[in-house]
Chain A
Amino acid sequence: MRSRILPLIATLAVFVILYLIGWQRFPAFGTTRVVGNFLTDKSFLGIAAVGMTFVIIAGGIDLSVGSVIAFTGVFCALAIGQWGMHPLVASGLILLIGAAFGAAMGAVIYYFKIPAFIATLAGMFLARGGSFVLSQDSIPIDHPFVNDISQIFYVFPDRGRFSFVAFIFVVVLVVGIIIAHYTRFGRNIYAMGGNNTAALLLGVPVGRTTIGVYTLSSFLAALAGIVYALYTKSGYPRAAIGVELDAIAAVVIGGTLLTGGVGFVAGTFLGVMIQGIIQTYVNFDGTLNSWWTKIVIGLLLFLFIIIQKVLTSYRGTLTFRLIPGLSRPAAASGTSASPP
């Protein structure tokens, strides 16, 4: 078994078990209506968490995502409602602003060697403060285009809805997986998180990649903000407080090592869905305090951190066998000794 995948399998197991528990208790868990709602409700968190996955794999952290989501919402609501921008223009603009914001944090982290924790904490204050400066109150978004968009959804046979925001989430997920595994940028992120010094020696453009990864994270946070605004049809400066924590939890539960270098975008998807299941279960139950959600997520977080600790401290050495007689051409292959 490949040790890299072990945490992911643990996540999958937890996901399946929780889902089955939910299904057994509330048969509605089996319907596409509930599943579709999972996706829609958690789409903004999921999009932000994909960005967080890259940051954590690179060995960093991004505390600013919740604030960027709120800022985006307020900005869009104002741009559409008061400045008369078309929603598409407003979205394009805020995505650019988000990317630039992330690039600035990345540059501060790389060039001034300021810990990511502190640099993104400052970013969190700035973005949250910025959204309060734009508006103190919740601003509704009412625009024909936005209303049309919210009406786009695919209806499953049993009348569950696959909404437009869920669609964006799935697209981000797929693109995220492709970036992570099939681009040099993605592999460089893994390399940097695995061993920063070695990555530099192997020719990984560490500066560009660091800035790129925070750019990506803030860009996705802005996208999550757009999705959140679509979902709530409003912009609110107090929105999405603590979403960065949920995103970090989703990433860790999804099997990404907080020490960097190892992780899966697909795992983050499972981590987000696990949170969705727990929340839905608590909601359905009705007697449970809604804060059970946080506690269960926290306990899962604890569980996975312990699993990670055990896995990383275990330095298993795969056995290998070498082919004797090196002077002979290599074609004379010996016993293949693939690891157990």
Chain B
Amino acid sequence: MLETKTAVEPTTAPTPFNLMQTLSRNRRFLFPVLALILILIGNRLISPTFFTIRVGPDGRLIGSLIDILNRGAPTVLLAIGMTLVIAAKGIDLSVGAVIAICGAVAAVLISTTTLPPLLVIAIAIGAGILCGLWNGILVALFDIQPIVATLILMVIGRGIAQLITEGQITTFSNESLEFVGTGLIGGFPFPIFLSVIVVALVWLLIRSTAIGMLIESVGANDRASFYAGIDATKIKLLVYIISGICAAITGLIITADIKGADANNAGLWKELDAILAVVIGGTALTGGRFYLIMSVVGALIIQSIQTGIYISGLPPTFNLIVQAVVILAILFLQSEDFRRLFTGAWAKLRRQS
């Protein structure tokens, strides 16, 4: 056995930097980043102006890369919340419905009341918190399987949004609220700023405190976490609430972008994009270790594929097939049984020859 009586010198001195070693240790990070770069290069091959960014008449930066960041902001935001939920061995199917609810709340309040826009935004985010709390209570306190618990809100949510908008596509005109979706800061669309801010805030909350480690601990081994005195209930409530907040902000962006609330279609199937982004980013659906920034990369991969399909002139409906192929490819690569199947077949071949 490896164990010896004399302990190995504790490594206080940093080992010299070794590129290959670093690469192999960080293969998990390398793979999605490489995939993103390859997809971007692929897009460049389709469209020569893909990397070009020019300044529009109103000071707006225009270009496919900006577009990917802007259009990808909702998926990035959702993927952040979803990463934490999945890390804690959960899943949140309701984010699409929460987007619809929060968008409806904001649109109705801004168009029918005289509340200041900031308060409206706060109320909409409050609605997201409530939705997250509901999911969290079902999962953490009632101990209902996450997939089932969040299915309830997924089914009910759009109905609630419809009730809020009274079945109309509520439109509004309010510069402050519209700014959330279409505003510019230094030429960059506001959603990009928003997603960067949220990523930074969540990262700070999770990684500069102990919360991230506790989430991973609960997700990786809940029994051992129980023995170690971790309060899993609070952790689970927290991750669903964060997911609710992220969905609410996404709802605000989408609503502000179209200047109206569409309870039927706002955020439809967005939960699937978010889950996919998390999985591509390398966080396992079985919980445990999570990679917040990699989920962002995953979301950008999805958006780059969609943008690529768009600029290539293929109908946007190819998104689904391409996404399906990407999911399957990634999952097969992650599946040990799949790899074993091939290494086994390889070994057999060699034995025979």
Contact = CB atoms under 8 A, between A and B. Distances in A.
A and B touch in the complex (CB under 8 A): yes
Interface of A: 61, 108, 111-115, 117-119, 121-123, 125-126, 128-130, 132-133, 136, 237, 245, 248-249, 252, 258-259, 289-295, 297-299, 301-302, 305-306, 309
Interface string B160-197: 10110011000000000000000000000000000000
A307 to B, nearest CB: 12
B155 A126 contact: no
Q: Is the interface of A mostly helix, strand, loop or mixed?
A: helix
Interface string B316-353: 01111111100110011001111001000000000000
B221 interface: no
Contacts of A128: 320
Interface stretch (B7-15, B37-45, B146-154, B207-215): B146-154
Contact of A295 (B159, B331, B332): B159
Interface stretch (B66-74, B118-126, B137-145, B227-235): B137-145
Contact of A136 (B151, B263, B317): B317
A302 B152 contact: yes
A178 B222 CA distance: 41
Given A129-B317, A133-B318, A298-B156, A121 B162 contact: no
Contacts of A249: 155
B320 A132 contact: yes
B145 A259 contact: yes
A61 B147 contact: yes
A89 to B, nearest CB: 26
Contacts of B319: 129
B158 interface: yes
A180 to B, nearest CB: 22
A245 B155 contact: yes
Contact of A293 (B159, B285, B317, B341): B159
Contacts of A113: 335-337
B173 to A, nearest CB: 25
B315 A132 contact: yes
B9 to A, nearest CB: 41
A309 B144 contact: yes
A126 B167 CA distance: 32
A112 B156 contact: no
A132 B323 CA distance: 14
20 contacts: A111-B337, A113-B335, A118-B275, A118-B285, A121-B327, A122-B331, A128-B320, A129-B320, A132-B315, A136-B317, A248-B151, A252-B148, A291-B159, A291-B167, A291-B263, A294-B158, A294-B159, A295-B163, A305-B149, A306-B142
Given A118-B285, A122-B331, A125-B327, A298 B317 contact: no
A294 B324 contact: no
B151 A245 contact: yes
B328 A297 contact: no
A295 B315 CA distance: 34
